[in-house]
Amino acid sequence: MGGVGTGAAAGRSARPLRLLPLLAAPALVAAGAWAWLALMIGDMSRIPGFSPMAMMAPQPVSGAMLWGLFVMWAVMMAAMMLPTAAPMLVAFARMQGAGKAGSWAPVAGFAGGYLAVWSGFSLGAALLQAALTDLALMSPMMMTAAAPVSGAILIAAGLYQFTPFKHACLRLCRSPMSFLMTRWREGVGGALRMGLSHGAWCLGCCWALMLALFAVGVMNTAWIVGIAAYVLLEKLVPRSLLLSRLSGAGLLGAGLWLVAGAAMG
């Protein structure tokens, strides 16, 4: 913890412009992810391992297609989640001390650890999408799950918004200084471990919201932007608990409506 006091003192005296070089790498990764995501949404044949025929009709998911699904989810998670980590990254960069030699490397390490956690989630999401596609429960073209599955996912996501674990994870994501003061580690390796830790708490906060993409469209631009904006709001607005409950009620209602519609159909 001794490094925290020194870093914090340097951070307090740092001008905002001096933080920009430290945050350049995460910002470029996020911008590149959004650009690549836009290209994939505009032309799904750009997804590695995918072909127009693969998206026209259900068929067994090959190894190449599974790799493509993983890349697609990993790019999407980097685009959606890295900007929401900006308050934490800024606080971490300030503690590192803007202008200190080599201070950019720990910031990059922290961001790398954070993205590694979401890459792990991306692998799980890709495997789930492959399984649903193999079972003909997901449209390869529209990238949406069948109504009963979509409804069940939305119900689960809505219920999760009310759980104590969700709220505990959200509190830690909303308190950068508290997180950094209690989990500080020196060096690039320490920053990587801190990024992994923060990523794990962030995953605990947001995984259910990300799975909601199966119901609204994995490559639905409006929902991708909307969910990313909502996650950022949850981390920033004063009454985030109320916001979580309202969104949970909305997801729960939408899920029940889909399930009821599928049952009557």
Per-residue pLDDT of the chain (265 residues; tens, 9 = 90+): 444 444 444 444 445 556 777 778 888 999 999 999 998 888 777 777 676 565 555 567 778 888 989 999 999 999 999 999 998 998 898 887 655 655 788 889 999 999 999 999 999 999 999 899 888 888 776 678 889 999 999 999 999 999 999 999 999 888 888 899 888 888 889 999 999 999 999 999 999 999 999 999 898 999 999 999 999 999 888 888 899 999 999 999 999 999 998 888 6
* pLDDT value of position 10: 43
* Residue 19 CB contacts under 8 Å (≥ 6 apart), including other chains: 90, 93, 94, 98
* pLDDT value of position 175: 87
C-alpha gyration radius of the chain: 20
Tokens matching residue 230:
């909502």
* pLDDT value of position 201: 95
Q: How much is the pTM?
A: 0.86
The string of pLDDT tens digits covering residues 133-151 is 888 888 776 678 889 999 9
